[in-house]
Amino acid sequence: MTRLVTLKLIRLVPVMFLVSVLTFSLLEVAPGDPALTIMGDNPPCPSLIEQELVAEYGEETDISLLCTQAVYQSVRERFNLDDPIWERYLIWLGNAVTGDLGIRLTNQSFTVLEGIQQTFPVTLQIAIFSMGLALLVSIPMGVWAAFHQGKGFDRLSGGSSFAIISIPSFLIGLLLIFFFVWRPWMLRNVVLIFAMIWVAWLLWSALKRIVSRMVSGSEAGAHATTDFVLAATVALVALGLFFWWPDFPRQGFSRWTSDEGILENFRTAFLPALTVALTEIAVFTRLLRSDIIATLQEDFILSARARGFSNRRIMFRHALRPSSFSLITLAGVAFGRALGGTVIVETIFRLPGMGRFIVDQGVRLNDYTVVMGGVLVLTTAVVLLNTGVDIAYYYLDPRIRRGRR
């Protein structure tokens, strides 16, 4: 096991090296000039430069543009922007391996590392929340849909999934804002109506069971109590939500370490996490459903049924595990995507995350130190994540373990 992990970690090095080389090269050929960002649109002419220019060109010369060019050149020299690309890359790499990712060119009061330390936890939290939410919802939905293949729930979940997948995430974010922030009463009423329908259905089922038990002594009547409890729970939750519907913010983020506390953190993280999660829920559900349906055709499932195992045991102990490889792979990829690709969601909800840090502070301002540092950290995170997924296979699939031996 140690050897496996060591090998995996060693393989990270060339990947990260290649990514850093590519990123540095792309930034070099991209339009824009960091020196312009640093000096601004109308830089002051320092008196020393002014004196030099006056001495060289005389009092009567218009030195405005000459001074701008002199300032521009001094900025390029200070940040070695005129050095060959390989030389600048090697300097950056040498510093990076010692943990020094440089200062932010556009706000030199802060280092890139500080920016990452400030923004990465936000992105990580949203990614964890969204993946947790996605798995929490999609696994039962996928199992349920597979188990009831072709029936109402399967068709409903299939249709909903395709609808959600086809909606871009920014639109999902805006729709969530519309319903949760601007029209919460609509959502509140819809939840109440659905909950009441569900409660009525549960009560109807319970009554049928009681009648059935009274008439025929069916054992199904034993589940009537469960139905009543479930109906009461749903009714209470629905009424609670109706009267105390949470007030979600349009934008902003409260850190869990802030004085506002963890609940405020959940409140501000919920809509962004749900925006990311919805698409993943749809994808995960469809994927898991398909895999489980395929697994349920296997001989060992038939064998398990023949041996009289319960459906729950068959589904969760025999079918789910071998059906989860694709899900784990995809969840790993999705988690990596959530870490690096949530800039739209971060922008919509004004989250101080890594996506906005790299795009707003790095790409838009031509601050290559920010882009390089941010990409390096995200690459490391994603590659480590994929390594974790590989190691998870090792545990989940005995064939891989045996293969390694």
Partner 1 sequence: MLTRKISTRRISTKRKMQALVALILSLSLIAAACGSDDDDDEGTGPVEVETPTTQAAPDEPESSDEPEAETPEPSETSPPATPPPTTTTEPPPAAAGDECTEALRGGSITMGVFSETAGLDPTVTSGSGVTGMIELMTLYDVLIRLDSDTGQYVPHLAESLESNDDYTVWTLGLREGVQFGNGDPLDADAVIASLNRWSNLDASIGQRNQSNAFVSFITEMTKVDDLTVQFTLDSPWAGFPYTLSDEPGMIVNVNVIEERGGVAEFSRNPTGGGAGPYELVRYAPQEEIVVRAKDDYWGGPVCIEEIKFVRVPGAPATYDAFQNDELQVAFLREPRVIAEARENGDTNALVFLKNTGGVVMINNGVRGSTPPTTDLRLRRAIMLALEPSVLDDRANEGTGRPTNALLDAGSFYYDADLFAQVPTDADEAARLVEEVKAEGNWDGSIRLHCHNAPSRIDWALAAEALLESVGFDVEVLNDGTILDLISAVLVNADYDLACWGFNLDDETPYIPLLQHTCTSRSNRTGYCDESMDAAIAQLRLAGNYGETQAALAEVWRVWQETIPSVAYETTEEYVVFKDNIKGVVGTQASGILFHNAFIEQ
Which 333-352 residues touch partner 1, going by CB under 8 A? 347-348, 350, 352
Query: Does the protein bind partner 1 through residue 329 (CB under 8 A)?
Result: no
Q: CB within 8 A of 316, min separation 6: which ones?
A: 143
Residues 6+ apart with CB under 8 A from 179: 186, 187
Contact by Cβ (8 Å): 362, 371: yes
Task: Write the binding mask 122 to 141 for partner 1: x where contact by CB under 8 A, - elsewhere.
Answer: -----------x--xx--x-
Interface pick for partner 1 out of 124, 144, 165, 390 (rule CB under 8 A): 144
Determine, following the binding rule CB under 8 A, whether residue 155 of this chain makes contact with partner 1.
no
Distance CA 149, CA 289 (A): 9
Buried/exposed code over 320-335 (b: 16+ C-beta within 10 A; e: otherwise): bebbbbebebbbbebb
- Indicate whether 68 belongs to the interface with partner 1 (CB under 8 A): yes
Q: Which of residues 195-214 bind partner 1 (CB under 8 A)?
A: 198, 202
Q: Which of residues 238-277 bind partner 1 (CB under 8 A)?
A: 240-241, 244-253, 255, 257-260, 263-264, 266-268, 270
Judged by CB under 8 A, the chain residues 158 through 187 that form the site for partner 1 are 177, 181-182
Residue from 3, 55, 98, 109 touching partner 1 (CB under 8 A): that is 109
Amino acid symbol at 114 = E
- Which residue number, 189 or 310, has a Cβ lying nearer to partner 1? 310
The footprint of partner 1 on residues 371-400 (CB under 8 A) is: none
Is the CB of residue 352 less than 8 Å from the CB of residue 118? Answer: yes
Beta bridge partners of 111: 103
| Out of 315, 319, 327, 334, the residue judged to bind partner 1 by CB under 8 A | 315
- CA 267 to CA 213: how far, in whole Å? 46
Binding residue (CB under 8 A) for partner 1 from 13, 18, 28, 46: 46
> How many residues in the shown chain lie near partner 1 by CB under 8 A?
101
Q: Are 128 and 357 in contact (CB under 8 A)?
A: no
Instruction: Say if residues 68 and 93 touch (Cβ distance below 8 Å).
Output: no
Q: Which is nearer to partner 1, 94 or 246 (CB)?
A: 246
Site stretch for partner 1 (CB under 8 A), options 19-27, 68-76, 285-293, 324-332: 68-76
The CA-CA-CA angle for residues 273, 269, 145, to 5°, reads 30
